[in-house]
Structure 1
Amino acid sequence: MNDKSSARQIILVTGAARSGKSEWAEQLATQMDKPVTYVATAYRDPTDLEWQERINQHCLRRPPHWQTWEIPLQLATMINKVSPPRCLIIDSLGTWVSNCLEEDDPTWEQTTMNLLTSLKQSSVDVILVAEEAGWGVVPAYPIGRLFRDRLGHLIRQIGIIADVAYLVTGGHILNLSQLGQRLNH
């Protein structure tokens, strides 16, 4: 992992639901030995008790000295405002994409370009947690297909610019940057 004096990194942590993606991202952030800001992309819904419990479990796992920001939409704007030394964990891209599903295609393309530009220009470490939603059956409903396609395309775009990409699955962490070859398209 890099030290405080080295250049920033973009790190992508991807995998299935409940695979340990967030825990691995948190371990990576801790190893950087920098102040950490945890960026939660979820909307809180006090009427959804199961969702609240999931959020609470994430909160309990994080060190109390980490900052937590709830940013359900404006990721690019937030990334642009953060300065070193800092490490951001953005958890998760799947939730963020679902928050943006009402955007039409041109607006979504601009939103995506703004995020990618902010990541490329960022001067802080950014660890992005993303769900792999495209490994199952093609969703039967248009909104499900839209979500899967947008998330898959976004993960691919971030994977291309990431310094390191990890896949967390089956109780194992795979460094895709060491094991695989980068697809440049």
Structure 2
Amino acid sequence: MTLVLGGARSGKSRYAEGLIEAQPGPWRYLATAQGWDDEMRARIAQHRARRPPPWETVDAPRDLASAIRQAPAGRPVLVDCLTLWLTNAMLDEAADLAAEVDGLVEACRAAAGPLVLVSNEVGLSIVPENALARRFRDEAGRLHQRLAAIADRAVLVVAGLPMILKGDPAA
């Protein structure tokens, strides 16, 4: 399992796609984005256009743990992105966010094939001014720490350049 973190437009998704494409296909892409407006729908279309067959896209905006568990054994899986999943859960007012995070972590730990997780590093900026934004930043930071602890590799992508935080740089 590889956790790929980075800021907006850092190159993290392209880097993660390259990690998956280095594995034998077909590849599964678990998409967490939802097209709430025209701009977001255009972003989703742009991402999909970058992934022709043998990519298979599965929409998993909320039940990401199940989507990971349902991936065929041995098939490389890319999750993009965890912070959108967390946003969806928080805006959906998940009854027990901690239990959902626990389920996601366990699904990642038990993944039946190569798994690459993409997420936005949001903890490098100022303290947000409102309670929801502070909670989101805190929840994302805790999620990243838990996943990094069980990951084989953790990578921070800055300006398109991967910085290996954990694991074998040659892998």
Query: Does the alignment pair 1:171 with 2:160?
Result: yes
User: Quick one: which amino acid aligns to residue 3 of structure 2?
Assistant: L
Which residue of 50, 56, 59 corresponds with 1:61? 50
Structure 1 residue 179: deviation in Å? 8.6
Alignment coverage as a number of residue pairs: 167
Matched residue, 1:42: 33
Q: CA deviation at 1:59?
A: 1.0
1:75 correspondence with 2:64: yes
Shift of 1:178: 4.7
Shift of 1:83: 2.5
Secondary structure of the structure 2 residue equivalent to 1:100: helix
- Which whole-Å deviations, capped at 9, do the CAs of 1:154-182 have from their partners, x for residues lacking one? 011100100011110023111111599xx
Name the aligned partner's letter for residue 122 of structure 1: A
Report the equivalent of 2:85: 96
Letter in 1 for 2:58: W
Per-residue deviation, 1:146: 1.1
Residue type at the aligned position of 1:58: H
Q: Kindly, what percent of the aligned residue pairs are identical?
A: 36
Cα separation, 1, equivalents of 2:25 and 2:154? 20
Task: Show the counterpart of 1:6.
Answer: none
Give the 3-state SS of the residue equivalent to 1:27 in structure 2: helix
Q: 1:13 maps to what in 2? A: 4
Runs of 4+ in 1 over 4 A off after TM superposition: none
One-letter code of the match for 2:71? Answer: V
**Counterparts in 2 of 1:147-162, with a 5 A limit?**
147-162=136-151
Unaligned stretches of 5+ in structure 2? none
Alpha-carbon displacement from aligned partner over 1:87-144 (angstroms, at most 9, x marks no partner): 111000010000011225xx11111111111111121111100000111111111110
1:9-68 Cα offsets, whole Å, 9 max, x none, are x110101000011000100000012321111101122xx221112111111111332100
Contact 2:153 2:165 in 1 (8 A): yes
Query: What TM-score does the superposition give when structure 1 sets the normalisation length?
Result: 0.85
Distance 1:84 1:178 in 2: 23
Quick one: which amino acid aligns to residue 12 of structure 2?
K
Distance 1:110 1:137 in 2: 28
Q: Cα RMSD over matched residues?
A: 1.6
Counterpart of 2:106 in structure 1: which amino acid?
A: T
Larger radius of gyration: 1
Match of 1:123 in 2: 112
Residue 46 (structure 2) pairs with residue 26 (structure 1): no
Contact 1:35 1:85 in 2 (8 A): no
